[in-house]
Structure 1
Amino acid sequence: MINGERQTKAAIRWAMVGGGKGSQIGYIHRSAAERDRYFQLVAGAFDLDAARGRAFGVELGLDPDRCYADYKAIFAAESARPDGIRAVSIATPNNTHYEISKAALEAGIHVICEKPLTFTTAEALDLQRIAEERNLLVGVTYGYSGYQMIEEAARLVADGTLGEIRLVNLQFAHGFHNEAVEDANPAIRWRVDPKFAGPSYVLGDLATHPLYLAEVICPELKIRRLMCARQSFIASRAPLEDNAVTLMEYEGGAFGTLWTSAVNAGAMHSQKVRIVGSKASIEWWDEHPNQLSLEIQGEPPRLLDRGMGYLHPETSGDDRISGGHPEGLFEAWANLYYRFALVIEALDEGAPDRVADLRYPGIEAGIEGVRWVENCVRSADQGGVWVDYS
């Protein structure tokens, strides 16, 4: 990776639905997808306002004839073209993810979707069925999982450095919505409206990020039951929560906690993952993503840095520059898109075994995020009781 050599035969013709002017997330999708020349943006349906979306696409340098009014138009037209798109990224409000993803898959187009993938587990399983029938990718943009030190954390757990895993302590608790900021910001307003956001706010929007990181780091841990309490400190957000605490019992005896909040006043992201074993602990903080804390009982604590020779070889495989130089969120997302490209090419060539061991957030990650939110909401709405994970 450090030499920037392409690992696929050609750039994948790619489009976006959503992610237009004013989007919080559209620019990072485009930058990450095209950073290493694995994807080429050739079409889009960027906005609910067709004229505004078309103008934005032209600003991006697209052919005006390939700037479409909506997702139905783009999939119909592009699937009929010999040079049509092979993949689409979906960066729209939550309530549209299922219908747009399903339409893309039925048109034979690979899908990369924002999370949560769907409102319900049943919908997510339906997407999985269609994708498997048509040999297509469904990728979910858990962008933080592209950081290299998450891979190092997973390797330390796998090689036994931590011993038996006992505790999983997760949080994603920022303070930027400690007031009703949505009153003046449409980009935030839909996130606290059940019609658009679904059954949760911070559980689906924030908590699923560290949850997926824990799944990457400790893949053997499976939730047995959980208990969730959620609050709406800004009353107008009810029934959706802006703060929640979830307790999790794992099969085998490990225990987990996940605090997620948008009202942690004064805090930036405060996304942290701490894994405690019988021998040692590790901790990763997204505000210092190039470092991983390793604390071995009876030894001085140490801080591991990205790009260094003492890391596992698999960790260094995504280096874009030598150690000592910081890499950030755009590089992490680009690592995801690089993996998505490898999977798409392998599936298109009928060689899925080629990427069988590749780590990336696929349809299973999307399903699990939706399932976890459903269980949290079920527990919270019963008064914060323990529920068997189903």
Structure 2
Amino acid sequence: MINGERITKSTVRWGMVGGGKGSQIGYVHRSAALRDRYFDLVAGAFDLNAERGRDFGAELGLDPARCYADYRAMFTSESAREDGIRAVSIATPNNTHYEISRAALEAGIHVICEKPLTFTTAEAEELQALAEARGLIIGVTYGYSGHQMIEEAARLVASGALGEIRLVNLQFAHGFHNEPVELANPAAKWRVDPRFAGPSYVLGDLATHPLYISEVICPDLKIRRLLCARQSFVASRAPLEDNAITLMEYEGGAFGTLWTSAVNAGSMHGQKIRIVGSKASVEWWDEHPNQLRFEVQGEPARILDRGMGYLHPSSLIDDRIGAGHPEGLFESWANLYYRFALAIEAHDAGKPEQIKDLRYPGAKAGVEGVRWVENCVRSADLGGVWVDYQ
């Protein structure tokens, strides 16, 4: 259980690119990174408008001299300081992730990036190789994967309690963009513009979250081929989709589905993961993240609660308060950030083997998320046909 005791030797000097005034996700990053005192925000390039970014940084308590006009100036200046940043979080539109991440790695700075990591698998693999060559980490903020009951689901699968895995049923289908909200909302506008969002909207923005969680729960499943059909129900979003259905065949015979939508009218969030085995099933819903539904064939369904002694010990490690008290998104992100801090410390010490069993969404997760989107787009653009997974 997390009780505030330090588990790293030092605090990571940390900067941000993006995440400025009015950015919801920027606040989530800061709340998560600063919660356990493993990171210290000392610099930022928060806004395309340099004056506005400097003013925002000052409001956060930063030295105005370390609130930079752009990321290039920040990386150049900070990498020359003895007390310069060791890590940077990138909370900018998708089209900038590759360029900023590469510049940070070349400056010797660890990267924590919003997904998708890049537009193409080749770019993502390039960043992965660069990080490995420089002894740096890449973290990708699949923030929902820090919820404790994801670990319990993974332990149940690993123990054989579900039997042979047969079905992986995933969805992330909310209704908040069932109309063209981007006409009045700048934060939504770039997400439906291929110049900024890349080759997909909901596939890259939403679907990769439950996809990564399914990989955590069922790490041995490998996609053999998939079929994707995507639609633009708000016509002005074409060629980007606001709804998609993906079917996946796994090596070994398991089958998966992933419904992704921003036009599921009436749905608040709609992210659910259900893993079906030959003996039992588990289901997790992010609107009720402290519970995991465990259903054994022929027995009453069980609702497993976060923080309870009947859970696997590894499922209790990230609890911040006793059972019965709800934990949520900020705690989940904070669980990722302390793992990023542990990974940074191990790599800076030249001892990455110390964290070989540490689970966090790293460069490989970033690469695989981009690879999956590329395969989905390829299938959809061919008319919704089965394609071998490349």
> TM exceeds 0.5?
yes
Structure 2 equivalent of residue 100 of structure 1: 100
1:107-159 CA-partner distances (Å, limit 9, x unpaired) = 00000000000000000000011000001000000000000000000000000
Please list the CA deviations of residues 36-60 of structure 1 after superposition, one character each: whole Å capped at 9, or x if unmatched: 0000000000000000000000000
Q: Identify the residue that residue 17 of structure 2 maps to in structure 1.
A: 17
Q: Which residue of 1 aligns with 2:83?
A: 83
* Pairing of 1:67-78 with structure 2 (within 5 A): 67-78=67-78
Q: Deviations over 1:176-210 (max 9, x none)?
A: 00000000011110000000000000000000000
Q: Which amino acid aligns with 1:105?
A: L
Name the CA distance, whole Å, in 1 between partners of 2:381 and 2:77.
44
Matched residue type, 2:306: R
For 1:161, the equivalent position in structure 2 comes to 161
Report what 1:225 is aligned to. Answer: 225
The alpha carbon displacement at 1:3 in A equals 1.7
Cα deviation for residue 22 of structure 1 reads 1.1
Give the corresponding residue for 2:131. Answer: 131
Counterpart of 1:50?
A: 50
**What is the CA–CA distance in structure 2 between the aligned matches of 1:96 and 1:124, rounded to whole Å?**
13
Q: Which amino acid aligns with 1:83?
A: D
> Which position in structure 2 is the counterpart of 1:111?
111
Paired amino acid for 2:94: N
Q: Name 1:295's counterpart in structure 2.
A: 295
TM-score (norm 1): 1.00
| Corresponding residue number in structure 1 for 2:368 | 368
Question: What's the TM-score once normalised by structure 2's chain length?
Answer: 1.00
Taking the aligned partners of 1:323 and 1:6, their CA distance within structure 2 comes to 22
Does the aligned pair in 2 maintain the 1:24–1:187 contact within 8 Å?
A: no
CA–CA distance in 2 between the matches of 1:322 and 1:175? 33
State the distance in 2 between where 1:385 and 1:110 align: 39
Q: Which residue of 2 aligns with 1:66?
A: 66
Q: Which residue of 2 aligns with 1:355?
A: 355
Q: Per-residue deviation at 1:2?
A: 3.0
Given residue 122 of structure 1, which amino acid in structure 2 is its aligned partner? A
- 1:239-318 to structure 2, matched below 5 A, reads 239-318=239-318
Which letter does structure 1 place at the counterpart of 2:308? M
CA distance in 2, matches of 1:185, 1:268: 18
The two structures, once aligned, show a CA RMSD in angstroms of 0.4
List per-residue Cα deviations over 1:76-96 (Å, max 9, x = no partner): 000000000000000000000
**Seq. identity, %:** 82
Aligned residue pair count: 390
Q: What corresponds to 1:378 in structure 2?
A: 378
Counterpart code for 1:384: G
Deviations 1:3-42 (A, max 9, x none): 2111001110000000001112000000000000000000
Alpha-carbon distance between aligned partners in 2 of 1:134 and 1:146, rounded to the nearest angstrom: 27
Pairing 1:327–2:341 present: no
8 Å contact kept, 1:154–1:217: yes
Secondary structure of the 1:69 match is coil
Tell me, in whole angstroms, the C-alpha distance in 1 between the residues paired with 2:265 and 2:307.
Answer: 34
Matches of 1:15 and 1:94, distance apart in 2: 19
Which whole-Å CA distance do the structure 2 matches of 1:340 and 1:347 have between them? 11
2:27 maps to 27
